[in-house]
Amino acid sequence: MAIRLTHEAQLFRHLREHSSITPMEALEEFGCYRLAARIYDLRAAGHPIYTIMTTHDKDRYARYILGTK
C-alpha cells in the first residue's frame, strides 16, 4: 500500500527540491487550494519561508521561497 503524503509534506518536499512555489503550481501539482494556510503551518513548525509578491500582466500573486536557517 502506498503512503499518501499530506499537502504540507508534499509542499515542503517541493520547496526543498525546487526552492519556490506559487499558488497555481500547488493547485496543479498537489490539488492544494489553500497554499497560504499550508505555508502558515510550515512557518509555525519553524521553517524559514519567505513571500515575494509577483506581478504578471495585471495579475498579482505570491511566490513562496524556502530560506536557510
Domains and CATH numbers, the chain: 7-66 (1.10.10.10)
- List residues bridging with 60 in a β-sheet: 55
pTM for this entry? 0.87
d(Cα 20, Cα 35) in Å, to the nearest integer? 12
Q: What is the pLDDT of residue 68?
A: 85
Position 1 pLDDT exceeds 60: no
Q: What is the pLDDT of residue 52?
A: 97
Quote helix, strand, coil % in the chain, to nearest 5: 45, 25, 30
- With cut-offs at 50, 70 and 90, classify the pLDDT of residue 4: confident
CB 49 within 8 A of CB 42: yes
pLDDT tens digits for 11-61?
999 999 999 999 999 999 999 999 999 999 999 999 999 999 999 899 999
- List residues bridging with 53 in a β-sheet: 62
Position 2 pLDDT exceeds 70: no
